[in-house]
């Protein structure tokens, strides 16, 4: 089993954090992982993206050239990547992206869900929960431990991140999903 994921959005939306989360999740599921960040010179507010490979086999090439999944958090990233790949899953933050007539996406109002939870900055973890619920390929029993590791200096954000992750899972659990 191999998962290839491209995540894109603004710096400050937790794009790189989300990639790290997926990398840790893969490691905690005894898989091989790569995480490759990319961001503009002005990290917060500039464009940011990262790619993650999670595989049960050795990873021969760490760069994602044809992702199985794209997670797009804002309009510029959507415009940049919407037609570049043919992913199995295209998950888009519809709080910040106007999809128009694009039917080949799973629209998730991640920023709105996060705002309703009390912190718009956890929209990334809403998307994480959505992806995990879609694929159903990962043991999530150690998500709290992973987040505790990633949020060492920001331990006060653990609870809201866990709530956002579960909100994303519930959002997908209530949706009827068709394969792209």
Residue 118: other Cβ atoms inside 10 A: 11
List the structure tokens of 63.
Answer: 């760069």
Phi, psi (degrees; rounded to nearest 5) at 57: -115, 170
User: pTM of the prediction?
Assistant: 0.91
Residue matched to tokens 């760490």: 62
List the structure tokens of 126: 């809403």
Q: What is the pLDDT, as a whole number, of residue 56?
A: 95
Q: Which helix (H) or strand (E) is 124 found in, with range?
A: helix 123-135
Q: What does the radius of gyration of the chain's CA atoms come to, in whole angstroms? A: 15
Superfamily of domain 2-173: Pyruvate-ferredoxin oxidoreductase, PFOR, domain III (3.40.920.10)
Listed by start position, the domains of the chain span 2-173
pLDDT band at 180 (very low <50, low <70, confident <90, very high): very low
pLDDT at 40 over 80: no
Which residues have CB under 8 Å from 56's CB, separation 6+? 1, 2, 31, 32
Q: Of the given ranges (6-15, 33-42, 75-84, 149-158), which has the lowest mean pLDDT?
A: 33-42
**Which one-letter DSSP state was computed for residue 108?**
E
Element spanning 135, H or E: helix 123-135
Q: Is the pLDDT of residue 12 over 90?
A: no
């Amino acid at each position: 089993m191999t998962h290839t994921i491209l995540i894109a959005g603004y710096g400050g939306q937790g794009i790189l954090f989300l990639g790290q989360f997926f990398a840790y999740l893969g490691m905690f599921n005894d898989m091989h992982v790569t995480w490759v960040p990319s961001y503009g010179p002005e990290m917060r507010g500039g464009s940011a993206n990262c790619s993650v490979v999670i595989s049960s086999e050795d990873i021969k090439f760490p760069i994602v050239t044809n992702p199985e999944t794209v997670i797009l958090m804002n309009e510029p990233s959507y415009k940049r990547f919407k037609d570049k790949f043919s992913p199995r899953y295209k998950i888009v933050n519809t709080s910040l992206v106007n999809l128009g007539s694009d039917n080949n996406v799973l629209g998730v109002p991640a920023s709105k869900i996060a705002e309703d939870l009390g912190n718009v900055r956890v929209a990334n973890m809403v998307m994480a929960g959505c992806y995990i619920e879609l694929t159903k390929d990962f043991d999530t029993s150690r998500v709290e431990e992973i987040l505790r590791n990633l949020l060492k200096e920001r331990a006060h954000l653990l609870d809201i991140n866990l709530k956002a992750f579960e909100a994303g899972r519930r959002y997908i659990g209530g949706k009827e999903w068709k394969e792209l």
